[in-house]
Amino acid sequence: MNLLEILETLDKLDVHYREVKWQVENSKIFTGPQTTDHQWLMRLYYLEKDVETQKIEVQRGRWWVLDEPVTEDKIIKTAFAALEMSDGHVRRENFYYDGRRVFDPHISIATYKELADARS
């Protein structure tokens, strides 16, 4: 795909995503593209209550890389994967057992290593 075709596909995605987002969650939007060395980057931004501050803030997903050649399939499937990842993150943040967030996605690898060492 050339640059114009990629931008047109992203425009279609935005339109289709707006149609879906009102049924699912009306704050999520995609940005992009940004280029770097023949790669395209896509990122999810949305307004949502922060689990720590309890204030409505802009939340950001991770960057997703689209390698060239970029195709319509890659764009749409990557957008869907970004949305799934974000939704899973939010579910883990809000899953509590016995008053504790037991699947907190913000726990660092270092903390997981310490827990694993403590179990050994």
Rounded to 10°, the helix 3-24/72-93 angle is 30
Residue-range definition of the domain harbouring residue 82? 3-119
Regarding pTM above 0.85, the answer is: no
C-alpha span between 114 and 111 (Å, rounded): 5
What does the pLDDT look like over 67-111, one tens digit per residue? Answer: 778 788 888 888 888 888 988 998 899 899 999 999 999 999 999
Count of structural domains within the chain: 1
- Token digits of residue 3: 């640059």
Give the distance, in angstroms, between the CA of residue 27 and the centroid of all CA atoms in the same chain: 13
- Per the CB < 8 A criterion, the answer to whether 9 and 1 are in contact is yes
pLDDT confidence tier of residue 56, bands split at 50, 70 and 90: confident
For 36-64, what is the mean pLDDT? 80
Q: Which residue has the tokens 């940004």?
A: 34
- Per the CB < 8 A criterion, the answer to whether 17 and 26 are in contact is no
C-alpha span between 107 and 50 (Å, rounded): 16
- Per the CB < 8 A criterion, the answer to whether 71 and 63 are in contact is no
Q: Does residue 29 register a pLDDT over 50? A: no
What does the pLDDT look like over 3-16, one tens digit per residue? Answer: 667 666 766 665 44
Question: Vertex 45, ends 3 and 75: CA angle to 5°?
Answer: 35
